[in-house]
Structure 1
Amino acid sequence: NYFLKSKYDKNILNIVQKAKEKKAFMYRLLFGEGPIHFNIHIEDIAYLHAHGVIENIADRVGILVPLYSKCIITAFRPMLNGEKMHYGLKANDTFDEYLKGDGLNIHALLNKYRQYVRRRGFKAFDTENLHEAAWHYSLDGFINFFVEALEGHTFVEVPSGAGRTDILIVYKNHRYLIEVKVFSNNTLLKKGKAQLAEYLHSEALDDGYCVVFSNLHTDDDELYFEEKLKGKSIYTYIICTRFPTPSRLPVPEELKLSETEKVAGKMLSMGSFTDEQISTATGVSLDKISYLREIKSL
């Protein structure tokens, strides 16, 4: 953590700065599923190679120094994702449900995350700014929020293999590894889980968690698997990311707005009237205006 966030190293700072200048390409390299073939005549590749960020590794673009990858991913991590208010917290939450013995209940955390994504839909992922990294940083931000509240820590791990980034959680004397992937097909998923089992073996961990974002799966599919691979327990969570567009979502009758409520909503959007003025002009109750203001801020 010291090298990732605190140590002043001119070389690493330069690497991160150059990577930031080609963020879209770096997101694809670090989080995309497929390999990128090395071609020095492609502008982004030429620029990043000239500044030592990437290398030609067996005719594919790669980052030779794992610390560079970790520092870049850490530097790209959004400071604020604006989603904490939507994590489903309650005033009396103690986070005890995420504890198990003297360790963490990772299953409870991942089930909580699945519920959050179902509630928020596409709003859970900042694909406009984060591109391929949106899935990783969504889960990373969620996990980090709860783990830090419990006085634990999360770190980025970058094992070899396209499209693989891991979240390492350290809590007291326990370590937990969550692999993050985007689903493309079952063959690659199976290969990824086998690599995870090997990585668990190298880290002397018994359990691993695989979180897979998929726009092909639906709630009708099996979305949770438990299996043993090479003596290691692998728990797979499929997170569905195929959401209906807002214009196609059915609106419950009780949420449909009357004509006067629509007028009140337009007056709210203008920002020139108080709630009391809008209520007087339209006859809409202050409670309803408060509700309209809330849904406009989502």
Structure 2
Amino acid sequence: MEEEAKSAWYINPAGKLDMDKLLKAFQEFYRENSEMWLERFDYKEAGPHLLLMAFLQRIINGGGKINREMAVGTGRTDLLIEFNGDKFVLELKLKRLPSAKQKGLDQISRYLDTLGMTKGWLILFELKPSSIVKWKTRLKWKNVSYQNKKITLVEM
């Protein structure tokens, strides 16, 4: 029952998942907890992905499923979430190179085309520690139009 109450905050009155609210809550969780958790992973680059999937799993379990590395056309989207009849495409990128954002936009646009969808989320994880890239500059949220798609850029 307690878990239902926690997840109800992310569900709108029509019973649909509010992905923006959910990802904003993850951004806050990531800021507060990521550095402590990420140092525990042997494979450091997998850490941000695993934290996001664990965070989402506790909510999605209540009425949907998370498909990881879902085959979409000739590629694989990182996460395809299905919840109460809706689908959400999330592409995750590590900011190793300045081109990560552009590559992510191109990928998610292709995946959305293949699925016949026009809305998706590109999540970009900064790899540098907060002592180098401060949280106040790394946390960003921006809605962009790209190749006739609505893509929400979530940076952390």
Q: TM-score range by the shorter chain?
A: 0.7 to 0.9
TM superposition shift of 1:121? 3.6
Distance 1:119 1:222, change over 3 A: closer
Q: How does 1:148-227 map to 2 (within 5 A)?
A: 148=61, 150-158=62-70, 166-216=78-128, 217-218=133-134, 219-220=136-137, 223-227=140-144
CA 125–93 in structure 1, closer or farther in 2 if over 3 Å, else same:
farther
TM-score (norm 2): 0.80
Q: What is the percentage of aligned positions where both structures have the same residue?
A: 20
| Correspondences of 1:1-298 after superposition (within 5 Å) | 93-100=5-12, 101-125=14-38, 127-148=40-61, 150-158=62-70, 166-216=78-128, 217-218=133-134, 219-220=136-137, 223-239=140-156
Tell me what 1:251 maps to: none
Deviation per residue, 1:86-129 (Å, 9 max, x gap):
xxxx8893422211333211111111111112222412336533
1:114–1:221: structure 2 CA closer, same or farther, 3 Å change rule? Answer: closer
Q: CA deviation at 1:205?
A: 1.5
Q: Give the whole-Å Cα distance in 2 for the aligned partners of 1:225 and 1:213.
A: 14
Q: Distance in 2 between matches of 1:167 and 1:105?
A: 16
Retained in 2: the 8 A contact 1:165–1:181? no
Gaps of 5+ in 1: 1-89, 240-298
CA change 1:184–1:151 in 2 (3 A) is same
Asked if the contact 2:77–2:111 (Cα under 8 Å) also holds between the matched residues in 1, the reply is no
Structure with higher Rg: it is: 1
Tell me the C-alpha RMSD between the 2 structures. Answer: 2.5
The structure with more strand, counted as a fraction of residues: 2
